[in-house]
Amino acid sequence: MTQQIELYDTTLRDGTQAENFNLSVEDKIRITIALDKLGIDYIEGGWPGSNPLSVEYFNKMQSVKLKHAKLAAFGSTRHFKNSPENDPNLQALLAAKTPVITIFGKSWDIHVHDALRIELEDNLQIIRDTLSYLRPHVEHLFYDAEHFFDGFKNNREYALLTLENAVEGGAETLILCDTNGGTLPHELPAIINSVKNHFADLGKTVELGIHAHNDSESAVANSLLAIAETKVEQVQGTINGFGERCGNANLTSIIPALVFKMGIECEVRKHIDRLYSTSRYVNELANLPHDRYQPYVGQSAFAHKGGIHVSAVKQNPLTYEHIPPDKVGNIRRILISDQSGRSNILHKAKQWNLKISSDDPVISTIISELKELENLGYQYEGAEASFELLMRRALGLQRNYFKFETFRVMNHKYRMDKPTLTEATIRLFVGGNEVHTAAMGDGPVNALDKAIRKALTRFYPCLEKIELTDYKVRVLSGERGTQARVRVLVESKDNHSSWGTVGVSVNIIEASWQALVDSINYKLLKEEKEK
């Protein structure tokens, strides 16, 4: 029988504990939907008892329907001084109304004494009481045995007792956590097998999971060993390995290893070609640079530069590639060849119903333009609307809905104790009609956005439905200080969908203008296609 594994993503909770990793509520919802499309089984949305942001996220998620994934709320065992019924943390978990609750408790006796400052028996009681209380109210109940491997090494008998009490309380899966990330691969299988043998001796069958941190650069190896050698049923991790300190087990490395190298069955197998785009999407929304050297999903993961490698790969890619890059949605890049990205162009053309044959010269034109734009700092992973417009222009399919002439933005700080007044003026043509208009806004981008729509709405009423939902700026190189080029990523939506657009310039207003104009053009294109 083929081994199966449950994939549990904790990017939205554990991942956000990484330094400089921040997400808005809307960002978290977008990532949740992306992870659901990828085929993740469980998505941990956060700790509803810890901050208002998580409470808002879970409230909004109650109106979002996921196709496959089940949402999990995360929290701790009850406070020793509170009964379960009167514990605010447990009540917040139930208020989140998720089908899954994951509870963490202490496995390491040092933590019981020094962190909780209670007796060892008291810790067993709060583990058992917490899970017993939650069990009738939730579809799935998981128990994260925090610091389990350190606890097992320090006091084996007590660490196993904490697991026994979790099972008595009703936990259906015990997740063994290497919270400090100090366990090495050669140690891990023996400890997990000891847990299995212990419960077998008690006449009990339990499902186990692995939750590894990367402080010893072993999180992926530990996770894969746990699956291969000890047959755990669940693996936890984050997209791109984000997490506190050195990060968590990286799901973008674990997933393709399971699917392509180990033959493990999981829902993600059906959608694994989304892995690359999902990885990039998370980075874009977190406003963090992509790790180009990351296995499987890095820009350089399948890049070949000169000499023997390039010659061999052109004859047979297997000579220097351990899997075909398109399996995970990535592309092969021959750094000295105009063939770079050809398969990706054809893939996108098919996705957008654009008829291009594999030998069409226009592909070279698109690749050439794409290379030039990427050198300037454009990235399209979070701005596919801009990329579709680029392809349509190259194919001569993009209609000119309006002709831009000029714009001006003025900021007036007339008193230090008053907000700045911002006005944007634009001049453009729609058909033979000249339009010259101005608008006030909360900052230059908002003023520009209002001015554009004010000019165009009477010609294209559908633009009233656009809402700018996110705006991110990234400095591409700090070497030139305030003269550095910046990339602006704009997220827009209407009543039916959302889309991302991008602009790049040394002038932040110019970059914003480019992204806003692409957003308008994409909305008009959508309306045209839907007629």
Low-confidence spans in the chain with pLDDT less than 70: 1, 305-311, 334-341, 343-344, 478-483
Domain parsing of the chain, residue ranges: 6-285, 302-337, 403-530
DSSP H/E element including 9: strand 6-9
- Distance between CA atoms of residues 370 and 385, nearest Å: 14
With residue 441 as reference, give the H or E element that holds it. Answer: strand 433-441
Task: Read off the pLDDT of residues 178-192 as tens digits, 9 standing for 90 and up.
Answer: 999 999 999 999 999
CB 175 within 8 A of CB 142: yes
What is the predicted pLDDT for the residue at 337? Answer: 39
Instruction: Look up residue 49 and give its amino acid.
Output: G
Secondary-structure class of domain 6-285 per CATH: alpha beta
> What local confidence, expressed as pLDDT, does residue 306 receive?
58
Element (H, E) at 408: strand 403-412
| 258-292 pLDDT per residue, tens | 999 999 999 999 999 999 999 999 998 998 888 98
Would you state the pLDDT for residue 335? 57
* Helix or strand holding residue 46 (H, E): strand 42-46
What element of type H or E holds 208?
A: strand 207-212
Q: What is the per-residue pLDDT for 325?
A: 94
pLDDT of residue 364: 85
CATH superfamily of 403-530: Alpha-isopropylmalate synthase LeuA, regulatory domain (3.30.160.270)
Are the C-beta atoms of residues 478 and 504 closer than 8 Å to each other?
no
CATH entry 4.10.430.20 includes domain 302-337: yes
Residue 103 CB partners (closer than 8 Å, separation 6+)? 74, 75, 76, 77, 130, 131, 134, 141, 142, 143, 144, 171
Domains 6-285 and 403-530 in one fold = no
- CB neighbours of residue 388 within 10 Å: 23
Structure tokens at 218: 């072993």
